[in-house]
Structure 1
Amino acid sequence: MASTRPVDQAKLESFMGKMVGDMGAAMSGALVIVGAKLGLYKALAESGPIASEALAAKTRLAERYVREWLAAQAASGFIEYDKATGRFEMTPEQAMALADEDSPVYVASAFELIASGYIDEPKITAAFQSGGGVGWHEHHECLFRGTERFFRPGYRANLVQTWLPALDGVVDRLKGHAKVADIGCGAGASTVIMAQAFPDSEFVGFDYHGASIDRAREAAKEAGSPANLTFEVASAKEAPGGDYDLVACFDCLHDMGDPVGAARHIREMLKPDGTFMLVEPFAGDSVDANMNPVGRMYYSASTMICTPGSLAQEVGLALGAQAGEARLTDVLRDAGFSKVRRAAETPFNLVLEARP
């Protein structure tokens, strides 16, 4: 039924302005994927001010497509355009975000992750109607590629430098001969980073998704095949072995159907004085605390990926990507952890330390 309240014309125009902006953002995301795949951003960052003809020649691409892509990027504010010269260029800040895959703020890969939401929309729409789930393995492969590439820069910037040192005594152990499990490791970005940083410790990554483990093994080869690193197919509640000094979960516990059961199994995997490091999306403890750009992104991803993934599994607790510290602490305490504290945070992640 339509609202009987009168329409405020100024508010309507403001809202429509927002919608047009969001429509442009949604459409331009596909062009970010194109630019990253074809090396257009990298070429722009390297060349300085350049015309479409020269950029097309540099990248060996069709000029008419390059010209239109450049105009779209400039209209989006992703690159700069000089009307006087007709040339385009990238600022250092734009290049960090879109051209440099080693930058801690590289985000171009996020748009490949986002693309999976559009591709898989029919499955999620059907799940809204049935109440069923959509497993991680049921998504388009661009989700797996995008997730690996999107999360890797943040892990590379924070994991060894900040997060592990924030845990009580863990780095000293890792410098020795510690045993570490990375549960729900996906394509192995976090596991590879840790194994390279601490060559005297032993690391094993577990994930139920066979294709992700295949990719993780490829990533290990790309990293020089560290002798202290292995990957195995296993779910969180079935990961074998014990006596681990450290078990970690990176941005995945909320995706699990039974996070309490998974955390309980992790506690059993640990030595009596071992540590569980839980890295989760940053969130406040209430909906209103997450009414911000990060919360918008995470709630949307949670609707399309995380919540359906959990509902596809046993228990189906469906924590969602914005569970927040209080809810996550409840999960860990229900699993038998007696000590839980926030060890670190970034604008995108919470890092909790839990001990038996």
Structure 2
Amino acid sequence: MTAQVDTEQIDEGVLMAFVFRAVDEVGATLNAALVVLGDKLGYYRALADGGALTPSELAERTGTAEPYAREWLNAQAAGSFVRYEADTGRYVLPAEHAIALTDESSPAFLPGLFQIALGTVADSDRIVEAARDSAGVGWHEHNSDVHVGCERFFRPSYLAYLVDAWLPAAGIADKLRSGAAVADIGCGHGASTILMAEAFPNSTFVGSDYHAASIDVARERAQAAGVSDRTRFTVEPAQKLGEGAYDVVTTFDALHDMGDPVGAARHVYGALADDGVWMIVEPMAGDRVEDNFNPVGRAYYGFSTLLCTPASLSQEVGLAIGTQAGPAKIREITAAAGFTQFASVAETPFHRVITVRK
């Protein structure tokens, strides 16, 4: 059915401004695939290493066909990801862009974000049907770009901030140096667990996730990192934590995905020692909807609609608090579980770090 619009009230300038803005959105949507393609084919790395390159030079350096390199470069130049030098016909990746597109140790590294976005969009047909049926789509039901991209996006921030900034801010670092029992809930591929195990050899770590394929990867990564002696990875939900068994519990970018975060918080309460600390890292968000009307909030609301909310709805209870729940909602959840102390102790453009205690 065609919407009824009073055309006499239409401002043509406003209409066409929106049309061209929407065209830009189409270009941005396609660019997610182009960034992932450039990452996988080594285009960005070749530009970072080679300076100004022609399409034929880029194709030669990467072992790819020149027509693909040429059109990819033009798309990247049109989107200001690379700079085109018209007098030489060469393309340059600015040094700052090279960090964001090639340096996986930098918290500014972006290809993982594009990869998870591309994987999420690829599964969007399933979300259409789930929304009609009031159903959910589990994390395990998504394609590998979602799982791999998620770790590649979050791990650089963990690498940059977890050991040197977040854990000290949470008042946990000294406890871990002395030797603590730690549970890392919703650990995925184990990036957070392994980073902590590498930094604090006197502590022991149990990483858990309901997604068996992710736990398989975590075990392999722990073996490769040489921390298998102090890490254990299990396929199980938060509800399987032992009573009073842990000095520290951590949850990284996972609480909002849970179907029953209040129930999970109750189990954490029971699993923590009396002087224990639960450190919760969640996507950066404000408490009011309008607080999140910014580029990061926009991206997170997109992931919330297509990935995180469906994941919660696929589980028992299906509370679906959303990716942009905000600290007040997290406080409400932890208080309902019995926690009495709550503090927001650190933040980055993408994360908020919260500690709760009994």
Structure-1-length-normalised TM-score = 0.97
Match of 1:51 among 47, 51, 54: 54
Contact 1:196 1:226 in 2 (8 A): no
Contact 1:115 1:142 in 2 (8 A): yes
Aligned pairs for 1:1-356 (under 5 A) are 1-4=3-6, 6-168=9-171, 170-240=172-242, 242-356=244-358
Q: Letter of the 1:87 partner, please give it.
A: R
How many Å separate the matches in 2 of 1:216 and 1:353?
25
Q: Deviations over 1:235-258 (max 9, x none)?
A: 011234642111000010011011
Q: Which runs of 5+ in 1 are unaligned?
A: none
Q: Deviations over 1:44-64 (max 9, x none)?
A: 101111112122111111122
Q: Deviations over 1:72-101 (max 9, x none)?
A: 111111111111111111111100111111
Q: 1:4 deviation in Å?
A: 2.6
Contact 2:105 2:160 in 1 (8 A): no
Change in Cα spacing, 1:58 to 1:241, as seen in structure 2 (3 Å) is: farther
Q: 1:159 deviation in Å?
A: 0.8
Q: 1:224 deviation in Å?
A: 3.1
Partner secondary structure for residue 237 of structure 1: helix
RMSD of aligned Cα (Å): 1.3
Partner secondary structure for residue 32 of structure 1: helix
Residues 59-68 or 180-189, more deviating: 59-68
How many Å separate the matches in 2 of 1:223 and 1:242?
29
How many Å separate the matches in 1 of 2:189 and 2:10?
50
Q: 1:142 deviation in Å?
A: 1.3
Contact 2:243 2:272 in 1 (8 A): no
Structure-2-length-normalised TM-score = 0.96
Partner secondary structure for residue 61 of structure 1: coil
Contact 1:206 1:239 in 2 (8 A): no
Contact 2:243 2:270 in 1 (8 A): no
Contact 2:121 2:306 in 1 (8 A): no
Contact 1:206 1:232 in 2 (8 A): yes
How many Å separate the matches in 2 of 1:44 and 1:222?
30
Q: Letter of the 1:232 partner, please give it.
A: T
Q: 1:225 deviation in Å?
A: 4.0
Residues 255-264 or 71-80, more deviating: 71-80
How many Å separate the matches in 2 of 1:81 and 1:8?
36
How many Å separate the matches in 1 of 2:168 and 2:72?
43
How many Å separate the matches in 1 of 2:126 and 2:241?
29
Contact 2:334 2:356 in 1 (8 A): yes
Q: 1:118 deviation in Å?
A: 2.3
Q: 1:35 deviation in Å?
A: 0.8
Q: 1:226 deviation in Å?
A: 4.4
How many Å separate the matches in 1 of 2:112 and 2:180?
33
Q: 1:13 deviation in Å?
A: 2.0
Partner secondary structure for residue 269 of structure 2: helix
Q: Deviations over 1:329-351 (max 9, x none)?
A: 00000011010111111111111
Q: What is the identity percentage for the equivalent residue pairs of Structure 1 and Structure 2?
A: 50
How many Å separate the matches in 2 of 1:322 and 1:118?
19
Partner secondary structure for residue 3 of structure 1: coil
How many Å separate the matches in 1 of 2:163 and 2:186?
19
Contact 1:307 1:320 in 2 (8 A): yes
Instruction: Give the paired residue count.
Output: 355
Q: 1:17 deviation in Å?
A: 2.1
Partner secondary structure for residue 214 of structure 2: helix
Partner secondary structure for residue 111 of structure 2: coil
Q: 1:203 deviation in Å?
A: 1.2
Contact 2:197 2:203 in 1 (8 A): yes
